[in-house]
Amino acid sequence: MITSEEYMVLDEISQIEEFPKELTLTGAPFEVGAIGVKSLTIVDSLMFFCTSNPDSPWVVSLLIDQNVLASMLKIGQGPGEFVFAPSVSNNVTFTHFKDGLNACIFNGNQGSILRFNIDSCLLNSQAISGTWTTDLPNTFFSTTIINDSQAFCRELGEDHRHFERYLYDNSDGEKAQNDMMKKLDQAHVYHGDNLNILSTMSKYNPELAMIVEMPIALNYINLYSLDGSTGKTICMGKELFNIREVEGMDQWDRIYTFADLRIYSTCWGVHGLNVSEKEYQTQGSARPTLYIFNWKGEPLIKIHLQHPASVFDFDSHTGTLYTFDVNSESFYRYSNDELTALFTGR
């Protein structure tokens, strides 16, 4: 029996065991100008890197030739600064406002979301456009910007055993939930130190007003509309992971199911791991698999990569795939006609 407390799922569940297309790809290595890279993201014609270098937490380069354009952000305790280098792929939203491309970055240590105009930052690495909001509680875990006044948020519940999802309005501080969010919020762990089992990465498609949430320790992904009118759970395999059973496992034996989530106008994809926490922490992801879906949650392509990778992203204009592996510090580029057709229609 599927209960809302033991399974973080929606009412409609789709079980995926096969993909209509399956590719095995070998990539070509490439060099970048950033040092100490931890993750990467492609936005338009730019590639953004998060690095371990305190003097350049973010580095921006041209995608086409990896020519470094600028470094961004500052590490520190002052206004507009970050205690740690923020990710370029999680808890950040790249979006176009009236003044151009902006990065809205969640700053958990200061309870704020900072907004940076990318064009200004390329000219002046200290430039900051403004603060999206400064009223976020210290129980706030993640955010995805919906528009210039709303964000999809995930906050730690009062019992510290579950998460609460809602739309936050920065004009009046109001919080709103749809039925999908309420359903997912019912899932909880017995012990707060196991809360990582419920951790997710979320992305928002503004064109379709759809949210996709990818857990890191459960074998299913939730896809639902912003207004709560539609939604489904996509299970990778024959059986859903039971939260109680996962919580009862030794931590080293728990399965890391997914590691990265990326979205595009025509599709979205996840980086599949399916390895124990011990194996992931000691060996990483030697030959990862990418699962690509359309926005109806239907499987499109399963991609086996022949090189290690911890993060991935596609150039949505060409379908070229880029990966980076933090353990081997290696970058690879993959080109394939099937992927070109998926992203360009050609």
pLDDT, one tens digit per residue, over 52-86 is 998 889 999 999 999 999 998 888 888 778 889 99
**For 150-160, what is each residue's pLDDT tens digit?**
999 999 999 99
Tell me the domains of the chain and their CATH numbers.
13-344 (2.120.10.30)
- Model pTM score: 0.94
Say if residues 113 and 131 touch (Cβ distance below 8 Å).
Answer: yes
C-alpha to C-alpha distance for 154 and 114, rounded to whole angstroms? 17
Q: Are strands 330-334 and 28-29 parallel, antiparallel or unpaired?
A: antiparallel
- Is 297 exposed, middle or buried (CB count within 10 Å of its CB: 0-12, 13-18, 19+)? buried
Closest CA to 139 of 123, 152, 159, 157: 157
**For 266-282, what is each residue's pLDDT tens digit?**
999 999 988 888 888 77
